[in-house]
Structure 1
């Protein structure tokens, strides 16, 4: 099984290098120039795609101070949902500028729509794919609506159990999605590596028959790199110019050097995993001469028997392979053999 999807002309699957997505999220901190600089930095780091989020505070929640709408604990403790989203959202009138700049810089851009109007906007802008965020994986009507746009979808599975993931996949398929990627995810900000249970990746791929990947909220790249060895075809990481920038997501995002290392190391890991191959590798060819082989260790006059005293298995490897040692013992030299000569079949009788 080698499922594959194509986003903006780039194939995504096990036989392709990992597809690295830099998540801009709220790291523009309300500054369009900052958002444009993040796109530039993602290009320079080697990312395949840049993802944004398309919502407003009013499309996500209501403006209320009631206890249900207050955040308790974590990075955003004490804030209301409306207040957080009002700070973090990417203004919709920026979208056309952001998409145009990404196109100019040669990087794919798409977004996570959080309601139908957001999906409509992104479709009008020509977004080549859609991402369903982990918190929306249970919003089956939204998934069906987005699937109806007929473009590839990526669904993050943070907090979702197996049944909920299955329902999301079914909704996407029923809505018309033909190209689907699932991202294993832990929706902690940041998330501890031990929560990721990367063994889930292979199981998810087998169960759902789609390319799988990792939405990684850990503070380093270890889990992401390990996931590539376990079959992840997509890696998504939050990305910022400065972890100390003060924005809602800055503190758990990669900085440019970290993203550069992720892009490099994920591809090196993919190369290292490769395919099943027991043959001689190109880097080994020059070293075959240092294997053991059969050599004359004492002069052997013509007609003299070959014995353990005059032939040994030693380095280098220009003589007969050591597996022939028992076969040549007891045979006779067909010519005078000198100490230090490799033994060949032409040198023995029989």
Structure 2
């Protein structure tokens, strides 16, 4: 379950399966996606909370009567799709109850103050602000006023806009903020993703930073975890070929499972920045490192030269880096070929 302190302290990577509108207005499909995301290991499923009246102006609808973008598999006008795909108020409560039943966090992106109020009543653990609203200061203030964590995507924004959004949230009372590096292209070009923005944003703002991913497959979000992403948000679908806006760029169950499995181990394998050698490796030194041995038989009283020394396993005696300190020393004991040399063999 969502735990801001655990995320901030890098105890785990929190994975959000972004269902968005991929339920296509079908609550049976929505529940199927929630259950599948839970089985894959996702910590949360996220929807989007908007209505036809709150998302776009009528002028925008009138300008988008016909689509030629076949990749998103539009079935009609923008207005018709929004009307079919929007999540009704009562469906929020229905899906939240289902999530509680199976043990996965329910969350959603609100697009108006009224939708924030709805989500507050539904009982979300945090508010997720979409990239398009990073400069929607009234919305940010309203979300911050609920005194819950706020996760905000940074797609399409420059650093100054991110800084202003953080300032607005803080001034309105938010003190648990998570930034998500994001490229708001579906899908982005690899050279435009810039995952090194993740540690940069963490250093600049001293808040946890995650990654809202629109790339194809699981490689990029796994790489994001390796550079410190505290949260991964990834669009999720049952079938990439389904009709709808985001199915084609979404992770399928196999890909989401790879991401969740990676999140389960990434924090452990990344470890810290202090160089350490484990007890197991210290023990392995004895078998795999080398020691100084006699290159040939040597008599007591012989003065050692470099030609008398070789370096072979095991690493239990004089280390090769100390071999130079044997040169010029006199043997107290005779040595056979390949015999390990001890300090006690020297005068």
Alignment counterpart, residue 163 of structure 1, candidates 160, 163, 173: 160
Is residue 304–residue 333 contact of structure 1 (8 Å, CA) maintained in 2?
Answer: yes
1:84-163 matches, within 5 Å, as 84-163=81-160
Tell me which moved more, 127-136 or 285-294. Answer: 285-294
Task: State the 1:67 CA deviation.
Answer: 5.2
Question: C-alpha distance in 2, partners of 1:161/1:132?
Answer: 16
Using the TM superposition, give the Cα deviation of residue 111 of structure 1 relative to its aligned residue in structure 2, in angstroms: 1.3
> Any unmatched runs of 5+ in structure 2?
none
Q: How many residues are paired up? A: 344
Residue of structure 1 equivalent to 2:228: 231
Q: Who is 1:346 aligned against?
A: 344
Answer yes or no: is 1:13 the counterpart of 2:11.
no
Higher helix share: 2
**How much does 1:14 deviate?**
5.6
Counterpart Cα distance in 2 of 1:66 and 1:32: 25
1:294 offset after TM fit, Å?
0.5
| CA distance, structure 2, for counterparts of residue 237 and residue 247 of structure 1 | 16
Residues 1:66 and 1:266: Cα distance change in structure 2 (over 3 Å):
closer
* 2:29 pairs with one of 31, 34, 49: 34
Name the structure 2 match of 1:175. 172
Tell whether the 8 Å contact from 1:22 to 1:42 is kept in structure 2 after alignment: yes
- In the superposition, the TM-score normalised over structure 1's length comes to 0.90
| Structure 2 counterparts to residues 1-350 of structure 1, below 5 A | 7-8=2-3, 11-13=6-8, 15-64=10-59, 68=63, 74=69, 75=72, 80-281=77-278, 284-285=281-282, 287-288=284-285, 289-349=287-347
TM-score (norm 2): 0.91
Change (3 A) 1:281 1:191: same
In the other structure, the counterpart of 1:3 is none
When residues 232 and 126 of structure 1 are mapped into structure 2, their CA distance, relative to the original with a 3 A threshold, is same
How many angstroms apart in 2 are the aligned matches of 1:225 and 1:107? 21
Distance 1:8 1:73, change over 3 A: farther
Alpha-carbon distance between aligned partners in 1 of 2:50 and 2:60, rounded to the nearest angstrom: 20
Aligned 8 A contact 2:74 2:245 in 1: no
Partner Cα distance (2:67, 2:38) in 1 = 36
Change (3 A) 1:71 1:127: farther
Change (3 A) 1:45 1:77: closer
Q: Distance in 2 between matches of 1:66 and 1:298?
A: 90
Instruction: Output the CA distance in 2 between the equivalents of 1:330 and 1:337.
Output: 16
The superposition leaves residues 302-331 of structure 1 with CA deviations (integer Å, 9 ceiling, x where unpaired) of 333233343222333222011211211222
Instruction: Return the offset for 1:63.
Output: 4.2
Shift, 1:205, TM fit: 1.7
What are the Cα deviations for residues 78-121 of structure 1, in whole angstroms up to 9, with x where unaligned? 96443332232222211112112212222122111111111111
Q: Distance in 1 between matches of 2:22 and 2:5?
A: 26
Query: Aligned partners of 2:185, 2:335: CA distance in 1, in Å?
Result: 73
Partners of 2:32 and 2:163 in 1: how far apart? 38
Select between 176-185 and 158-167 the one with higher mean Cα deviation.
158-167
Note the alpha carbon deviations across 1:213-240, whole angstroms, 9 max, x for none.
1110011222212222222111100001
Q: Which of structure 1's runs of 4+ aligned residues deviate more than 3 A?
A: 6-10, 62-81, 266-272, 281-287
